[in-house]
């Protein structure tokens, strides 16, 4: 009966394998890890007995062994392994049940037995590493053999590639193959597309087709973020999955528009050869999937040379043809340089490869005082005379201040002579309206469009427009124009003519530039604009003649817009009297209520809170409000033990309102139970009115004084100080009560007569007609003036038949809710749950007194709130929802 020791390969593995692998196989066969005699027992193993329970043993192995353990056992027994745990387990148990099946495995290795016997004997360390490799034989082609080890916990997998040809082979290690591919990290210009192409070339070259081997190989080639990504993703079993993850994360493919922009902006660099430049352009085109014709066109455009020199490059239909012409262009350019001795500043595409940066030593020192050679500045005898001018060669001034400098004598020189360099500060901005600084002009009888640029020192015309106006004679010019980025452009020449603009004709000196440097027909500079006066606003630019007449008016007074509208008053006499009554109103304060607010606390433990953080604009708003309150005497500086923080709240118009957070102080304050009017009772008194006037008080609570002993309780802190109120502030729990008591005392006589109706600071005056309303309003304003009440006229309404008061619309004795209150009901979405139905009914219940038979209308919705009722929003519910 055959044993494991009868198979040479397995016998060798039992002898050389690691202790951990031997223990794994021993535990699988005998059910325990064993002892020092494990190898001996395994050599004598002749297979599982005939009553071997395959399925029961398989369940036990799958539960106790990992895939990594089973692969290691397959390696020891020289069996083909699988990435599936069940398949791997079936293979091992099947072969151990019938050892005769192992003969097939032996025959697979028979061709390499002689090779293995002829190999030199390995050292112990080398043999250990060799035993940690998992061997898989490719039976079909017998051309590659990949050995790797996943049982070793601290080592990476490795490959041993053997190519057999004519009974000879050459071994390749994993390191040899990995070195063929540049590591990919996503941190450099090495794109993921290039990396994938290189990897797949290696797979095809070495016939690496096993998915596990491909994944292990690629992971070995990853570094940095790319390796981190692969480690964070679980379940990758083949190269296609890994490739897709890498492309999704690191692909730098760009769309067509971006590609065209990059190609258009890419130019050949000063120290870049033609070959390097074209390869860079080809890489950009590959990223954007551009066709060859576009690549060739952009490559030619990016070479900084004249069109005449580059004419040889045009007309290419393929990349190889273009590369050949590029070589010819390079040779022609080098040949032409030989016959141009003064062409050092011309562009040379091959200059980068031949540029020598060595410094040439200067045999003679140069004096920086006089400019002569042979001595240094410290030894100069002319140094006491001052700096030497490099223009006139005299001492005492520099060239910038030289009286013979062309810049200082340009105004006296002949216009035909050359002038110094000038600046053009025109900037193109596509989002700026193009009609603001553009004007229509007439030049040489031709209608043109010009751009007015106060930053340009000269008036300029492009070459195309110059030819269009008849090509007037040019004077030579050596002026160099510079713009944004300090790029310089040489003037072709200049001519003198007259420009007519908005019926104003003035002489102009106009320089001609090439078309590609000036995107406008004409650019009018400051040299022309300073001859006249012009204004610029949102409607554009307007020129003024020096002969225009101007009229000066003396403004005696400025009258603001009327803060109130009286156009609705039908009787003109009443309207005039009403206007006079309102305009003559002044808070004289001849009477006083003697009411002051007193704060009584439950205990004497101070309430103290720190100031809250504010942004810089908020701090500015606080400073403005504090200064205003100090000037009005509303607050004063404080050193109280009590301290509350301030808070800024937004008003409806977007402005900020400064408030004090008195919530902690209010919890300790004994409440003032002065009764406030009921809104329903207030509204009932308005049914008989036809015309209404409403009075809005300015800072209503500030009309009431604070008791001296209670002022310390109102103290609040800001980012730069502590203050306390002299007047009743907003935010105190008793402020509404004390103010209602105050306002009722002021208008107590008018309240008794029914002339005025008051709810807090909202004052309304109903009347049966306009005349009656005027009389009632006169009495109310007289009383308000006597007690010094300040009015906010912008929010007041006078003698109107329809008015909004306390959130309701009052008109012709009818009261209805205002649109501001009903907008929430109109915008309420269709309920999807019982809770939403409950919210909707609660909202509409506020207006139930304005809806006839509200309970009947809302019944289909109310029924949904009953217990044990299934939610079903059917046609009846939708109809009730729409009605409400």
Q: What are phi and psi of 134, to 5 degrees?
A: -95, 120
Residue 864 and residue 884: Cα distance in Å, rounded?
16
Q: How far apart are the first and last CA of the chain?
A: 95
By the 8 A CB rule, do 144 and 162 touch?
Answer: yes
SS3 15: helix
**Nearest to residue 504, comparing CAs of 482, 525, 476, 532?**
532
Distance between CA atoms of residues 811 and 692, nearest Å: 9
CATH architecture of 596-816: Roll (3.10)
Tell me the CA distances in angstroms from 299 to 175, 329, 760, one per residue in order: 39, 13, 80
Query: What is the rounded CA–CA span in Å between residue 137 and residue 80?
Result: 8
Annotate 238-269 with DSSP letters as a single string: SHHHHHHHHHHHH-----HHHHHHHHHH----
d(CA 226, CA 92): 36
Residue 171, phi then psi, degrees to nearest 5:
-85, 135
What pLDDT, on a 0 to 100 scale, did the predictor assign at position 211?
Answer: 85
CA–CA dist 225, 388 (Å, integer) = 62
pLDDT for the residue numbered 724: 92
Measured CA to CA in angstroms, residue 523 lies from 348, 351, 515, 542, 545 at distances of 34, 38, 12, 16, 21
Check if the beta carbon of residue 648 is closer than 8 Å to that of residue 618: yes
Ramachandran region, residue 655 (left: φ > 0; alpha: ψ -120 to 50; beta: rest) = beta
> How large is the angle between the packed helices 572-583 and 770-786, nearest 10 degrees?
10
Question: What are the average pLDDT values for consecutive 10-residue runs of the chain, which has 884 residues?
Answer: 86 88 89 87 86 84 87 86 81 84 47 35 38 37 37 38 38 67 78 84 83 84 85 85 85 69 81 83 76 85 80 82 84 48 42 41 62 72 70 69 56 42 49 63 88 87 87 83 69 88 86 80 87 76 65 55 70 85 86 88 88 86 90 91 89 81 91 82 78 86 90 90 90 89 89 85 86 89 89 85 80 75 79 85 77 83 82 85 82
Distance CA 264, CA 730 (A): 65
For 240, how many CA atoms within 13 A lie in the half-sphere containing its CB?
Answer: 2
In sequence order, the 6+-apart residues with CB closer than 8 A to the CB of 8 are 106, 113
CA angle 213, 216, 221 (to 5 degrees): 125
pLDDT value at residue 587: 86
Q: Is 677 left (phi over 0), alpha (psi -120 to 50) or beta?
A: beta
> What class, spelled out in words, does domain 440-543 have in CATH?
mainly beta
Residue 153: CB atoms within 10 A of its CB come to: 9
Question: CB-based contacts of 172: which residues, under 8 Å, 6+ apart?
Answer: 159, 160, 161, 162, 163, 206
Cα–Cα dist 144/203, whole Å: 12
**Which helix (DSSP H) or strand (DSSP E) does residue 5 occupy?**
none
Residues facing 692 on adjacent strands: 766, 800
Q: Do residues 734 and 672 make contact, with C-beta atoms less than 8 angstroms apart?
A: yes
What pLDDT does residue 627 have?
Answer: 92
Sign of CA dihedral 558, 564, 565, 569: negative
CA distance 605 to 740: 29
> What are the beta bridge partners of residue 764?
694, 757
Q: Tell me how far apart the alpha carbons of residues 223 and 186 are, in angstroms, rounded to a whole number.
A: 9
pLDDT for position 630: 92
Phi and psi (nearest 5°) for 373?
-95, 160
- Relative orientation angle of helices 256-265 and 292-301, to the nearest 10 degrees: 30
> What pLDDT does residue 584 have?
87
C-alpha dihedral, 873 to 878 to 881 to 883, nearest 10°? -160
SS3 sequence of 163-196: EEECCEEEEEEHHHHHCCCCCECCCCCCCHHHHH
Q: How many Cβ atoms from other residues are within 10 Å of residue 677's Cβ? A: 14
DSSP at 608: B
């Amino acid at each position: 009966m055959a044993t494991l020791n009868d198979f040479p390969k397995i016998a060798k593995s039992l002898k050389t394998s690691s202790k951990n692998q031997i223990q794994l196989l021993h535990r699988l066969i005998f059910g325990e890890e064993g002892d020092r005699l494990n190898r001996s027992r395994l050599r004598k193993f002749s297979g599982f007995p005939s009553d071997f329970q395959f399925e029961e043993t398989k369940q036990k192995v799958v539960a106790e062994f990992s895939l990594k353990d089973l692969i290691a056992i397959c390696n020891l027994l020289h069996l083909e392994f699988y990435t599936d745990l069940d398949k791997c387990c079936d293979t091992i148990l099947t072969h151990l049940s019938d050892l005769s099946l192992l003969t097939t495995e032996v025959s697979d290795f028979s061709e390499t037995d002689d090779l293995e016997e002829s190999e030199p004997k390995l050292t112990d360390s080398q043999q250990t590493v060799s035993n940690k490799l998992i061997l898989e034989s490719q039976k079909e082609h017998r051309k590659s053999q990949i050995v790797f080890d996943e049982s070793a916990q601290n080592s990476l997998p490795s490959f041993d590639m053997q190519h057999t040809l004519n009974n000879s082979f050459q071994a390749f290690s994993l390191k040899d193959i990995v070195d063929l591919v540049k590591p990919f990290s996503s941190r450099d210009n090495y794109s993921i597309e290039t990396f994938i192409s290189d990897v797949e070339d290696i797979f095809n070259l070495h016939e690496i087709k096993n998915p596990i081997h491909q994944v292990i190989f690629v992971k070995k080639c990853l570094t940095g973020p790319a390796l981190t990504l692969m480690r964070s993703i679980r379940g990758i079993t083949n190269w296609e999955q890994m490739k897709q993850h890498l492309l999704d994360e690191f692909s730098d493919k760009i769309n067509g528009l971006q590609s065209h922009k990059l190609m258009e902006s890419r130019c050949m660099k000063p120290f870049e050869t033609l070959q390097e430049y074209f390869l860079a352009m080809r890489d950009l085109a590959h990223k954007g999937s551009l066709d060859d014709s576009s690549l060739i066109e952009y490559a030619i455009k990016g070479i900084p040379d004249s069109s005449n020199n580059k004419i040889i490059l045009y007309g290419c239909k393929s990349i190889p043809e273009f590369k050949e012409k590029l070589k010819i262009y390079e040779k022609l350019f080098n040949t032409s340089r030989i016959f141009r001795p003064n062409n050092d500043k011309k562009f040379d595409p091959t200059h980068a490869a031949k540029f020598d940066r060595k410094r040439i030593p200067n045999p003679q020192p140069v004096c920086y005082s006089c400019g002569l050679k042979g001595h240094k500045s410290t030894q100069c005898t002319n140094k006491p005379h001052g700096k030497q001018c490099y223009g006139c060669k005299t001492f005492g001034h520099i060239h910038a201040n030289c009286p013979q400098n062309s810049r200082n004598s340009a105004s006296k020189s002949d216009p035909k002579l050359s002038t110094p360099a000038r600046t053009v500060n025109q900037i193109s901005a596509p989002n700026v309206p193009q009609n603001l600084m553009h004007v229509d002009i007439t030049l040489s009888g031709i209608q043109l469009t010009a751009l007015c640029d106060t930053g340009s020192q000269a008036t300029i015309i492009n070459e195309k427009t110059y030819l269009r106006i008849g090509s007037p004679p040019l004077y030579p010019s050596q002026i160099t124009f510079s713009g944004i980025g300090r790029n310089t452009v040489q003037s072709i020449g200049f001519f003198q003519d007259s420009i007519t603009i908005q019926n104003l004709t003035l002489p102009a000196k106009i320089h001609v530039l090439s078309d590609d440097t000036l995107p406008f027909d004409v650019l009018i500079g400051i040299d022309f604009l300073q001859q006249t006066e012009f204004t610029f606003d949102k409607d554009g630019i307007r020129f003024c003649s020096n002969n225009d007449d101007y009229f000066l008016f003396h403004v005696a007074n400025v009258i603001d817009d009327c803060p109130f509208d009286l156009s609705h008053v039908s009787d003109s006499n009443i309207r005039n009297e009403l206007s006079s009554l309102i305009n003559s109103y002044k808070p004289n304060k001849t009477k006083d209520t003697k009411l002051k607010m007193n704060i009584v606390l439950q205990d004497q433990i101070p309430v103290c809170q720190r100031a809250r953080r504010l942004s810089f604009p908020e701090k500015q708003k606080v400073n403005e409000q504090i200064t205003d309150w100090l000037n009005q005497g509303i607050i004063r500086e404080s050193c109280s033990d009590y301290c509350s923080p301030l808070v800024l709240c937004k008003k409806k118009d977007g402005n900020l309102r400064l408030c004090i957070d008195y919530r902690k102080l209010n919890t300790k304050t004994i409440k003032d139970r002065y009764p406030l009017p009921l809104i329903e009772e207030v509204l009932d008194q308005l049914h008989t009115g036809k015309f209404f006037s409403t009075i809005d008080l300015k800072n209503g609570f500030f009309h009431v004084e604070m008791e001296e002993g209670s002022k310390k309780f109102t103290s609040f802190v800001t980012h730069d100080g502590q203050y306390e109120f002299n007047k009743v502030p907003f935010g105190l729990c008793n402020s509404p009560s004390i103010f209602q008591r105050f306002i009722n005392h002021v208008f107590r006589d008018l309240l008794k007569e029914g002339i005025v109706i008051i709810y807090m600071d909202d004052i309304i005056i109903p009347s049966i007609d306009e005349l009656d309303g005027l009389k009632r309003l006169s009495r109310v304003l007289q009383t308000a003036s006597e007690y010094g009440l300040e009015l906010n006229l912008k929010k007041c309404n006078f003698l109107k038949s329809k008015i909004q008061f306390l959130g309701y619309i009052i008109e012709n004795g009818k009261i209805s809710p205002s649109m501001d209150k009903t907008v929430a009901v109109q915008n309420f979405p269709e309920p999807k749950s019982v809770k939403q139905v409950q919210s909707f009914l609660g909202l509409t219940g506020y207006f139930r007194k304005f809806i006839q038979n509200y309970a009947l209308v809302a019944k289909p919705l109310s029924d949904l709130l009953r217990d044990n009722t299934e939610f079903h929003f059917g046609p009846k519910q939708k109809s009730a929802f729409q009605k409400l």
